[in-house]
Amino acid sequence: MLELTGLTAAHGSSQVLFGVDLSLPRGSVLALMGRNGMGKTTTIRRIMGLMKHRNGRITLDGEDMTQWPPARVAHAGIGLVPEGRRIFPNLTVRENLIAMAMLPRPGNTTAPWTLDRVLELFPRLAERLSNMGTQLSGGEQQMLALGRALMTNPRLLILDEATEGLAPLARQEIWACLARLKAEGLSILVVDKHVDVLAELADHHAIMEKGCIAWRGTGQDVLDPAVKSRWLGV
């Protein structure tokens, strides 16, 4: 579904990505891992069209999207849950969700996402529909960011630091949500540091090191203490 081939990127004159190759088959979950500063967020920003093109190629269902602007990427069906959540603080929960609503695209394999369906997935948001974004806990804000991405009716969902800074109970709710989305056939690219959970959730695993894909393997492979020590520092 999503293919990255020889992808490079830079911040000014400083190159950050060095020939990244990644593949995400339709209906599967890909976990992208690595220590801080290794290029994971830059890779996501490059996919979303938020950085200038240098070299390499990005395709979505075989269509070259390498130089698409962010709006076209979003309208093509890639929903992003960014690091830090970035919900609209001066809008209510309802307004945050409705603002991003898009009609399902031809070929979508999952049931359409509506306001009611998002609230069924996250009952706590239903209790806070009139609350402003700043009046939510960290876990509720992450649920809102995820619900907002689902309201775009994506064919591919990308989460950058899916559970960073969340309390254990809130993390569990996010992981349960992603497991449900996977079961429904949604394609997911997820960045997170909780290796044990990712090992069970994801179908494919890749680790970044200094702007390159340094390791690929299965969920069982990534739990190998030698792999975790060498590439993840845990």
pLDDT digits (tens, 9 = 90+) for 40-58: 999 999 999 999 888 999 9
Residue 109's pLDDT is what?
65
Q: Which amino acid is at 126?
A: A
Query: What pLDDT is stored for residue 166 in this prediction?
Result: 92
pLDDT of residue 183: 96
Listed as ranges, residues in the chain with pLDDT below 70 are 107-109, 234
Model-level pTM? Answer: 0.94
The predicted structure's pLDDT at residue 93: 96
- 122, 152, 158: which is closest to 137 by C-alpha? 122
Asked if 203 and 222 count as a contact pair (C-beta separation under 8 A), the reply is no
The domain spanning residue 103 has which CATH number? 3.40.50.300
Q: How many domains does the chain have?
A: 1
**DSSP string across the chain:** -EEEEEEEEEETTEEEEEEEEEEE-TT-EEEEE-STTSSHHHHHHHHTT-S---S-EEEETTEE-TT--HHHHHHTTEEEE-TT----TTSBHHHHHHHT--PPPTT--SPPP-HHHHHHH-HHHHTTTTSBGGGS-HHHHHHHHHHHHHTT--SEEEESSTTTT--HHHHHHHHHHHHHHHHTT-EEEEE-S-HHHHHHH-SEEEEEETTEEEEEE-HHHHT-HHHIIIII--
Residue span of the structural domain in which 135 resides: 2-232
What residues form DSSP beta bridges with 156?
78, 187
